[in-house]
Structure 1
Amino acid sequence: MWSSSALILSLCFLSEAASRVTSSVKPLKINLSERVPHMLDLVHRTHLPPAELSAAKSSYNTTLSSGLPLSTLKSLRKEWITSFKWELEQESINQYHHFTTKVEGQDIHFIQEPSQDPNAVPIILLHGWPGSFLEMLPLIDLLTLKEPAVKESHPTSFNVVLPSLPGFGLSTPAPDGWTTSDTARILNTLMTKVLGYQTYAVHGTDWGCAVAYELYGQFNTTVRAAHLNFLPFVPPNLEQLAALNITLSGAEVDEEKRSLDWQGAGSGYFAEQTTKPNTIGLALYDNPIGQLTWIAEKFILWSDPRRGSGPSVLTDNEILRVVSLYYLTHSFVSSVYIYAQNPGGFATKYTKAKTDAPLLYTSFNYNVGFWPKALVEEVGNLVYYKFQEFGGHFPALDNPPALAADISMIGKYWHH
């Protein structure tokens, strides 16, 4: 991490920059430990069915089409009670440098980790739902080149800024009528007026890709490169691909099938959170097992089936860490409102961003949305498109080395 002198210089810089916009940047040490006993007490006292319903034992259960299996939930619950240690996770999270600042009345939590390279590219990393800032942590050392072995394969280093989106984690809930455009605006203020970056790059996934795409198109003088692995447009169906004369390769056929399966049988949560966020939010507000069931299903179903092995760090412990953060910060209900406040956040009509900045895209094999290269070319100045065989919807956890390598390609096209 930082040396003490680098941290002092950075804090001085942050304070000076913050004063220019009548904002204050405050160092933050995360401490949610006092809420943990109540959470674990509820986990321990929650009753689960003694056996799976016969209808849930069908072959559909092998793909989680009927939902999270009872056996998986019981295994996660047992690990939560017996071996998961929030204090150790919190200590690990606090190795990074956390701050809070207020922009347009919103308290924004963010991590800032600089590279030692004076020519490092500033970049903001944007998570989605049910992710959090935790999702992007494996990228930090890879992008700042604090891991010596990475320097040979990654010629570009980055000054990393990693915020919690409004309503997520330690950022305050978004007010009524708040959209991804509003989030893009305040994050551009964070990067330019608070942190003092004249230009920067952005990476986004899930709802973070919607914010990233807004930044890419609407703030085109400051955002000079973008990398995405998801698009804020509804994935195409087979008829649309045929109408566009787009022919898919063998691997792309599999990706398209997974995308169509998700749209048909895997998006019920999307309808619920878009139309009735308060119902699901209040139902699970003080229910850690409920939040675990709702969130773990997405992490397991949307990720590479080899999760937790090879390059993947998406273990059961990681899922428990994410759910614990949601519960301990009381942010589950506020997080799902991003769907209701952005009912058209994933557009059906494809449009092109008004920018000449380079757009880079990575298609991960097990993602729930699939966009072939020809479609990605329609939405921005596409200069790089890569297929990654290992990984899914959470590539910063599924395959952090591959994602970091693709993001680092920004350096090839970076011009201030």
Structure 2
Amino acid sequence: MRVLHTSDWHLGRSFHRVNMLGAQGEFIARLVETVRAREVDAVVVSGDVYDRAVPPLAAVELFDDALHRLAALGVPTVMISGNHDSARRLGVGAGLIGRAGIHLRTEPSAAGTPVVLADAHGDVAFYGLPYLEPALVKDEFGVDRAGHEAVLAAAMDRVRADLAARPAGTRSVVLAHAFVTGGRASDSERDITVGGVAAVPAEVFDGVDYVALGHLHGCQTITGRVRYSGSPLAYSFSEADHRKSMWLIDLGADGSVTAERLDCPRPRPLARLRGTLDGLLADPALDVHEDAWVEATLTDPVRPADPMARLAERFPHTLSLVFDPDRGPDEPGVSYARRLSGRSDQQIAEDFVAHVRGSGPDERETAVLRDAFDAVRADDTAREVAR
């Protein structure tokens, strides 16, 4: 069976105030054409279809158009909700839409109930594990402590139990939206850390033939059977070096996996430039970036006059301007953003405690901070779900 694996469309998202709906439409067109030209048997979309719980109308219309075009090809599609989606909203009408071959899996309780498709070699069971917010689903899965590994492991126990009851030789595909150990994150993904832990081991998914992951925006291979497709478009400058693509998966009669990487259309290249303003304006090596979306980090010791206007003369698509004077880390005036770069909310809070009283938090205080951050994030998620 030939499966096209994609995820993290984030319909409705902009890129530094640039409307991306046109580029997202081009991606949908490429997706549909790939399904037709490469004789795809099934499409899987592993969450974050939309960028927010209540998407703009134009994004909903684009999604509706994508569903109609996929249904018209007669190729089944399986989709799950991600941490950016409202599972309830995305799942509205799932029963009716399913009759057209578009299978929406947004309910955690249905983790062990697959969409079963068939090819010349027999059945393939597609299990949809929507984003599982631990604090909200721990009771559904009967786990004592809310954590990503615990709830995903319980969901996979249901998958394996259902698969074991099916005829021998039934192949399996799992769609999941999670941060799996070994994956590389970017700046455009929403933090899903719980209890100080964001990642789950790939071994959680043992026992199935292919795991189509979503959440991380870089296309990457965790194992030969566990892969991220990544987002089809760049949504932050941290993705400047990403090759945006989809996975074309051939699932053999024996469950073997062959993967081919297919490129997505790129509306414009990205460039991250760093140096003094005069240096950036004069360096001939930067000619190749004059048509790119640019993030410029200026290292001038004194902020120059009209930097954005001057940059735009050479780089008309400059979208982000950062000031980071070259100073030693202990020199006064080093930017706040630079001091906090790469640090989690938990680490920042612990540093603040140490700064205020001269010593960092003890084990009990660290646990209190961690539980507070988890509670705030879970409350935010619950409010989005309720919208």
TM-score, with length taken from structure 1: 0.22
TM-score, with length taken from structure 2: 0.24
Larger radius of gyration: 2
Q: Give the strand-richer structure, 1 or 2.
A: 2
Q: Give the helix-richer structure, 1 or 2.
A: 1
- Tell which has more relative contact order, 1 or 2 (C-alpha 8 A, sep 6+): 1
